[in-house]
Structures are given as C-alpha cells and as structure tokens.
Amino acid sequence: MMKTLKKLFLLQLSVLMAVCLTACSGGKSGGSTEDPSAKTVKIGVLVSDTTSAEALAFRTYYKDYIQSVYNVEFMYSDELKDAAAEQSAIDNFIANNCQAIISFASADRPAQIEKCEAEGVYYAVATGTLPADQYEKYKSYEHYVGAIGPDLPTEYQAGYDMAKHYLDAGYTKFGLFTGASVYFTEMHIYRAAGMLAAMCDAGGGSYAGKTGMDIVGQIMADGGNVNPGKIGNIEINGVVAGYDFDDAWFGKLAAVANDPNVEVLMAVGSGQTAFAGFKPEGKKLGDIDCYTKESVELMESGTLDYLAGKFSASIGPAFAATLSAVYGKPIRDKDGNALALAQGYWVATSAEDAKKYYEVDSSTTNPAYTKDMLDTLIGASYDDFAKFVSAYSFEEIKK
Amino acid sequence: MKLEKKLAGTLAVPVLVLAVCILLSVMKGVVLFDSVLSWTTFIRAMTNIVLVTFALSINLNSGRFDFSIGSVALLSSIISAMLTTRFGLGPVGMLLISVISGGVLGLISGVIYVSVKLPPIIVSLAVALFYEGMAFTLTDGHGVSFANNAELLGFGTIPNYLLIIAAALAFMVIVFDHTRFGYEYKALLSGQKVAVSTGIREIPNAVLCYTIAGLLMGAQGFVSATNNGAITMALNFGSISPMFMAFLPMFIGGFIAGIPMKNSVIFWEHFPQP
C-alpha cells in the first residue's frame, strides 16, 4: 500500500515538474511572437515638485491620459528634496518591479543614471536635457533612454523673446523676478540671461560688461543674483529672487510691482504668484510657466499679457521612448547614442491664445499628443523621432 | 512699581530693536520705512506674528506642542477662499468663514488629541499631514488663486491689520482674564493635579484651547491669503514652518509680560539712573 502511494506521489511530482518545465520553455520560445503590450509595464516617476501647476499638469497627463490608453502603470515618488531621497525612491521603484524610470528630479542626475544602469532599469529625463559633459558620458549607456525637453539655449531664448516682446513695444523700465537663480537653478539663470541679453541688444549697452550668452557666467559669478541698473537706455529698477514666501519677500515683490519707475514686470517662473496680486493696473506682466485655468483668467482680465508655457503633453515623447526601450526597441542615433532632443514653449500674447492652448493642454481625452501620435514613435528611427519632437508648436501639433 | 519703571521695562526691548534697525539702515544708506508699502509690510508681518504667537502659546504654555496650527491656517484659508470666490462674498465674509473653519479644525484637532491619548507632538504631526492632504485634495493640488479679485486683495491695509491685532488682543484678554475658562486654564497651568482635584475638568479645557488656537489661525490664514491672492499647497509638513516664526516673539513677549512684576526691577537696577 505504502509502495503504491509512493509511486503515485512520485508520478504526480513528475507530472507537475513536466508541466512547469513546459510552461517555462513555452514562455521563452514564445517571446518573439508575444505582444509586449499585453503585459502591464510599471514605470516609476521621480518628482521633486508635487504642488506646482506645471507638475500637476504633467501628472494628470500621465495618470489620467497615458495610463488610461496604454497598458502601463505609473508609480510616483514623494516630493524628493535631495540626492539621497532620489536614490531611496529608485530603490523603492526597483523593489516594486518597475521596468523603467522617468525623472523630473535633478538633485543628482548622474547618480540616478548610474544606479539605473547598474540595476538594469531604463531611465529617461522628461523635461530638460543633460549638460553636454554628462550626455557625452552617459549617451552610450544601455539603459539610458535619453532626455527630451527645453534645453538651456531654449530657456535662454524664452527669456530673450519675452523681453524682446516688450522692448519692441517701446517699454524701457523693467522689474524682474528671477526665481531660483539664487539657488543656481540653471533654467532660471538662462531665462534671466536671455532677458538681459535682449535688453543689451535693444538698449545698445551691456550688463556688467557682458552681452549675449556671456551674461550667464556673470549671473553665476554674482551668486545667481541679477543686479538692478542701466543697460544703455533700458532700466532695470527692481529685482526680487528666491522663494522665501515670508512677509519680507512679499514686501519686496509688492515694492517692485508698485515702483512708479517700473513699466513691465517679467518673471522667469511663478510670476503669477509673485507679481499678479500686487501689480497695479496699467503695468505689464510677462511670465514663463505653464497653462492653467488661473493663468487664462489672468490673461482675460489683462493682469497677465505674455505667457510662455510648457504644455503638459510635452512629456509624451519621453514616455514613448521609454516604452519603446522596454519593448526591446530602443531609439538610438546611427552611432547608438541615446536621445537628446530640445523642445520649446507655446507663447500666448492674448487671452484667446491662452484659452485655446489651455483647452488642449488640460484635455484628458484629446490632449496635444494623443495615443495615435505617440504610437508612431514606438520603434521609430532617431530621425523620425527627432522630427516629431521638433514640431512642437501648437499649430504644428494640431495640424 | 512706578509707572515710568513699568513703561521703561516694557518698551526697552522694542526700542532697542528699533534702534539697532535704524543704525543698520543708516550704515547701509537706506531708509527703514521709506513708503506706505514698507509700513504695510511691517504691520502685516506683525499681524501674522501676533496671531500665530497667540495661537501657539495657548497650548505650548500647557505643555502641548502643536505642530498642526500652520495646517489649520492653510486648510481654513482654502475653505474660505473657495466659498468666497464661489458665492462672490467680500473680505468680511471670507474672514468670518476662515475664522469659523479654523475653530472647527482646531476643535477636531483637540478632540483627536484627548481621544487617542498619544503625546501631543505625535498627534499634531498626524493632524498636520491630514489637513495638508485635505487642502491638496480639495483643490486638486492647485491651491486657490484670486489675484484678479481687487475687493479681497484690497483688505490688506494698515487700518485693517491694526483692527485685526486689536480684535485678537481684546479676544485674548477677555477669554483668558475674564471668563471661567480662562481662570480654569490658569489654574491648570499652575498645577494640573491640584486644579483637577478642585473640580476643574482638564479635557474640555484642552479641547477649548485647541479650538481657540484654531480660531486665531483661521484669521492668520485669511491675512496670508489676502496678501497676494494666492494660496499655494504645502505637503510633507510644509505647513509647519509658520509656527517657528512665533517662538522668539513668544519668549520675548513672555519676558516683557513679566517685567512689570519682576524683570523690570532687575532691568531698572542695571539701567543708568539720572
């Protein structure tokens, strides 16, 4: 009896092992024909900002649109304040079987890239690009997908164009909010430098002896500060920086906004928070930020009259490139290097423009970059991908 | 103690600080208060500090460290701003809604504290996270902006700020010096065991302390919001920082408050006599 039972048990065990082996081998041999999109892809998203309008718009695009049309699941980090927190968040993503990471956090990008490469997890930068030296170092990493977003020359140009808009209209007296320039945030320094460069070109002078891109170095040398003064016949009569959000900071903003020697207020970001509440009627306000319900209302009321904004779907191509890599179709140039593509802003100089942009930008059913558009990027050639990204203007996208 | 001694003791610290500020301004070649805007900024800062200091001191004097007061200000201002903009109310309506919301949130905070019986630091941190999360959820993370509303922004004037300071001061004096609650609060401060044995109920007193702190923080939230017409979100204890601005004023205030009784004598003895 015992012998029979033993035989039966061994037989069952053999059958079970055979089934397991068949299942395993079947999975492997079927890999080439299996639809990769059948399996949910988990993607970790590193964020250093969870409350700004721009960050919320990006999140809405991924969570409410992309996640509803693709078989992907986004896992967001907490608000990451430093490099250690970024590393910890990556560990958490890996522990949760994320196959890729898209980063909006930049405390220590090299460390993020190195860690993802070591762990075999795909990594992409969603808004912005790597500095040239970092790109040279990481462009051939197998798991580095690339970076797509406004590069620093684009940031410089955004500031330049905004200042030029007012200079061309004949304004000569400015008040500036330079945001995180004092924290050495390159994006804000380049935007501020662009504004000053436009003033140099229009006013026929220089800023501390510098013109053009050289102004970037001057701002860096001054600790991220922009100093009031004259550039030819153009006057900068007040500058506020930082994000202190205390009474003294608000007091300084109010003083610049109400200075009778200021005609135009320009902000490298958050101008609507910084200046809009203090600005008397008749003064102009320009900002580089994103499109929100509030910004449209401010443009309709005339409080804000120039807005260069990132559009939330601009992070779509970074997602498509990442998904393509996960599906085994990484997008590389002819030398096998990762993506490094620049995108620009949508510029609104009227309430109608802002409203039109916001309607598209806030849509969770028909956003600027839809699934049909992004599908063309999965497995695309580098050149086709680059062509798609470079056609970022509202008119080109909605053509 | 003679009146002049009391006055000298009470005014010594503020006058000394003012003198240092004037000296620094002269050295830097600037004028300390060069416009109405400078005065407005100063008086607004003073209003914020007075309200937060009153709110913080109520519980801190009783040994309850309340980290949630900033989140009460945040959430009450969010609630009031949303209702005000939706129903087209004015600044008085917004102030009332903010104060009432703050009181209710303070009451909830107090009830949670006396119910869970955990150390107040732990409870207040949890409440801060909860209220921050509620504010974030109510606004989908976008906060509230009314930078276009001239009526609400127009509230930020020196007379209005002074009115709020006077009202808060009168409220504190009446509640803590002329009510049964105030007497019981002081009795509990001087010795909880003895006070309780005389029939004073410490739990309702504690809940009321949280409620009063909430009322004051509701007013502070309103003052902050109507400054620039935008309420931005705070997460992960981002709302805690306003309470730290109240510590130094609270201790200096405590020192000055004691001067008429004891400290002024010490001060006066070291002051050059005519």
3-state secondary structure A122-183: EEEECCCCCCHHHHHHHCCCCCEEEEEECCHHHHHHHHHHHHHHHHHCCCCEEEEECHHHHH
- Across B127-138, average pLDDT: 96
Intervals of chain A under pLDDT 70: 1-33
d(CA A399, CA A169): 30
Are residues A58 and A181 located together in one domain of the fold?
Answer: no
Confirm if A205 and A234 have CB atoms less than 8 A apart.
Answer: yes
**H-assigned helices in B61-119:** 69-87, 91-116
> pTM of the predicted model, to two decimals?
0.81
- Across B155-172, average pLDDT: 96
Q: pLDDT at position B8, please? A: 85
Are residues A376 and A246 located together in one domain of the fold?
Answer: no
Helix (H, G, I), strand (E, B) or coil at A43: strand
Which candidate from A273, A293, A298 shows the least CB-CB separation from B232?
Answer: A273
Residue A113 lies in a domain: yes
Residue A335 lies in a domain: yes
State pLDDT tens for residues A174-233.
999 999 999 988 899 999 999 999 999 999 999 999 999 999 999 999 999 999 999 999
Are residues A205 and A280 located together in one domain of the fold?
Answer: yes
Are residues A63 and A108 located together in one domain of the fold?
Answer: yes
Q: pLDDT at position B252, please? A: 85
Instruction: Tell me the shortest Cα–Cα distance from B220 to chain A, in angstroms.
Output: 13
Question: B88 - beta bridge partners?
Answer: none
Does residue A247 belong to the interface with chain B, where contact is any CB pair within 8 Å?
yes
DSSP B229: S
Q: pLDDT at position B264, please? A: 44
Are residues A183 and A286 located together in one domain of the fold?
Answer: yes
Instruction: Tell me the shortest Cα–Cα distance from B142 to chain A, in angstroms.
Output: 6
Are residues A184 and A128 located together in one domain of the fold?
Answer: no
Q: pLDDT at position A16, please? A: 55
Structural domain containing residue A185: 153-310
Does residue B141 belong to the interface with chain A, where contact is any CB pair within 8 Å?
yes
Look over chain B and give the mean of its residue pLDDT values, rounded to a whole number: 90
Q: Which two tokens stand for residue A234?
A: 């153009």
Q: Which two tokens stand for residue A23?
A: 């299942």
Quote the crossing angle between the two packed helices A247-257 and B36-60, to the nearest 10°.
160
State pLDDT tens for residues A62-71.
999 999 999 9
Integer angstrom CA distances of residue B121 from B69, B128, B129: 12, 10, 12
Minimal CA–CA distance to A158: which of A128, A110, A192?
Answer: A192
Give the angle B26-B31-B36 at the CA atoms, nearest 5°.
160
Q: pLDDT at position A314, please? A: 92
Interface of B with A in 105-134 (CB under 8 A): none
- Across B241-258, average pLDDT: 84
Q: pLDDT at position B236, please? A: 85
Are residues A327 and A305 located together in one domain of the fold?
Answer: no
- Across B175-180, average pLDDT: 95
Confirm if B144 and B78 have CB atoms less than 8 A apart.
Answer: yes
Q: pLDDT at position A54, please? A: 85
Does the beta-carbon distance from A79 to B235 stay under 8 Å?
A: yes
Are residues A258 and A337 located together in one domain of the fold?
Answer: no
Burial class (CB in 10 A: 0-12, 13-18, 19+), A224: buried
Report ipTM (2 d.p.): 0.78
Q: Domain limits of chain B?
A: 66-244
Of A350-364, B6-20, B155-169, minimum mean pLDDT range: B6-20
- Interacting residues of A10 by C-beta distance below 8 A, sequence separation 6+: none
Are residues A332 and A375 located together in one domain of the fold?
Answer: yes
**Closest chain A residue by Cα to residue B148:** A298
Does residue B35 belong to the interface with chain A, where contact is any CB pair within 8 Å?
yes
Total of domains in chain A: 2
- Across B83-91, average pLDDT: 95
Read off the pLDDT band of B273 (50, 70, 90): very low
Which candidate from A53, A79, A303 shows the least CB-CB separation from B142?
Answer: A53
Within 8 A of A251 by CB-CB distance, chain B residues are 37-38, 40-42, 44-45
Can you give the CATH number for the domain in which A391 is found? 3.40.50.2300
Are residues A190 and A287 located together in one domain of the fold?
Answer: yes
Are residues A303 and A319 located together in one domain of the fold?
Answer: no
Are residues A201 and A334 located together in one domain of the fold?
Answer: no
State pLDDT tens for residues A271-287.
887 888 888 888 999 99
Does the structure show a pLDDT above 70 at B193?
A: yes
Beta strands in chain B (DSSP E): 144-145, 230-231
